[in-house]
């Protein structure tokens, strides 16, 4: 049975013409940003892709059908429906078989983008290995190990174990590039404290690495795009609030899938919205860079 997938007309026209297209996840809109500001942010993110010279393709599952590219009604539904599920790769078969609806995560967006023929994907930060020594790892990593896409991100969320995440990406043979830096960004922070082996300095260089990666074996290229220091969250404030939030996990009995939203909510609340401002700036910058990389990749073809 073929995958129930519909591609928006403007996205289909761009793909057929070999023009640049950038995939966007929908979980950021549905679950990552507060309502009602999330709808405006969704429009701003798509506009950032257009500004970079590409067609945006926000991906979601609506009524059992994968939508690659959402119209205004689709974006409004994703932004406003508080009952929408969060769909990773493992959840897609259930949603598709049952006619369900949900927002796609990094892992499922990467897989569906590849199925639709989209090579470049923009997001905020990747999931990764959680702190604490227990085995708790985001499905994002496994998906990137087997999906041939280029993902522009600001590293992994700083609430995670960055060192362990980088080790897992290496084990999975995911190529990691720093954009204009040999330092791995820390999402809200310009520098996570960990170095990278490889750096590129232009969209054309990133596109060339991805083109070569496709000839080697399946797997992703992660293009880590740091916030400028002038736009990062104050590092001392970040570290203090994160330490307090991590201590609160045990006090409040938070475990499993509830850990990430708990920590992010504490960061947003205690920083008086400063982390939210940084979060939005991250995805806008990544969306525009992804568009430029997609355009460079189209030129290579």
Domain map of the chain by residue range?
5-300
Which of 46, 114, 157, 288 is an active site residue?
157
| 21-24 and 120-122 strand pairing | parallel
* pLDDT higher than 60, residue 146: yes
Task: Tell me the sheet residues that pair with 223.
Answer: 152, 177
pLDDT for the residue numbered 265: 83
| pLDDT tens, position by position, 89-98 | 999 999 999 9
257 is catalytic: no
Q: What is the pLDDT of residue 134?
A: 57
* Domain 5-300, classified CATH 3.40.1790.10, yes or no: yes
Which alpha helices (H) appear in the chain, and where do they start and end? 9-17, 27, 37-51, 72-80, 92-98, 106-116, 139-146, 162-171, 203-216, 235-252, 259-270, 274-300
- Helix, coil or strand: residue 260: helix
Using alpha carbons, list the distances in angstroms from residue 151 to 3, 145, 216, 223, 225. 23, 12, 17, 6, 10
pLDDT at 255: 77
Q: Which tokens in the block code for residue 288?
A: 């525009």
Q: Is 25 tagged catalytic?
A: yes
DSSP letter for each residue of 7-51: E-HHHHHHHHHT--EEEE-SHIIIIIS-TTHHHHHHHHHHHHHHH
pLDDT tens-place string over residues 159-192: 889 999 999 999 999 999 999 999 999 999 999 9
Cis peptide bond N-terminal to 108, omega within 30: no
Mean pLDDT of the chain: 93
Give the residue-averaged pLDDT of 26-34: 90
Residues contacting 51, CB < 8 A, separation 6+: 288, 291
82 vs 21 pLDDT, higher one: 21
Going by DSSP bridges, is the β-strand pair 21-24/55-62 parallel, antiparallel, or unpaired?
Answer: parallel
- Which entry of 25, 46, 114, 288 is annotated as an active-site residue? 25
- Please compute the mean of the pLDDT values over residues 196-212 and round it to a whole number: 98
Place of tokens 């023009």: 19
Cα separation, 206 vs 215, in Å, equals 15
The answer to whether the pTM exceeds 0.85 is yes
């Amino acid at each position: 049975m073929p995958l129930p997938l519909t591609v928006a007309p403007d996205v289909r026209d761009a793909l057929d013409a070999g023009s640049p297209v950038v995939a966007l996840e929908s979980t950021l809109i549905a679950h990552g940003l507060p309502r009602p500001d999330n709808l405006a942010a969704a429009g701003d993110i798509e506009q950032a892709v257009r500004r970079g010279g590409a067609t945006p393709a926000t991906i979601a599952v609506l009524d059992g059908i994968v939508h690659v590219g959402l119209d205004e009604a689709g974006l409004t539904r994703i932004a406003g429906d508080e009952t929408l599920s969060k769909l990773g790769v493992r959840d897609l078969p259930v949603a598709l078989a049952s006619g369900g609806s949900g927002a796609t995560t990094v892992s499922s967006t990467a897989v569906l983008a590849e199925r639709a023929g989209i090579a470049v994907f923009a997001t905020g930060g990747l999931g990764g290995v959680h702190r604490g020594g227990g085995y708790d790892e985001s499905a994002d990593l496994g998906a990137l190990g087997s999906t041939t896409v280029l993902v522009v991100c600001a590293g992994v969320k700083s609430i995670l174990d960055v060192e362990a995440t980088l080790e897992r990406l290496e084990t999975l043979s995911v190529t990691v590039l720093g954009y204009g830096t040999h330092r791995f960004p820390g999402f809200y922070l310009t520098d996570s404290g960990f170095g990278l082996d490889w750096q590129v300095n232009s969209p054309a260089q990133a596109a060339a690495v991805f083109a070569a990666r496709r000839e080697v074996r399946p797997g992703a290229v992660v293009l880590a795009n740091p916030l400028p220091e002038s736009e990062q969250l104050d590092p001392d404030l970040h570290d203090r609030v994160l330490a307090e939030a991590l201590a609160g996990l045990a006090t409040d009995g938070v475990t499993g899938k509830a850990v990430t939203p708990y920590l992010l909510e504490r960061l947003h609340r205690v920083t008086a919205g400063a982390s939210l401002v940084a979060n939005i700036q991250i995805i806008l910058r990544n969306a525009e860079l992804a568009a430029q990389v997609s355009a460079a990749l189209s030129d290579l073809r």
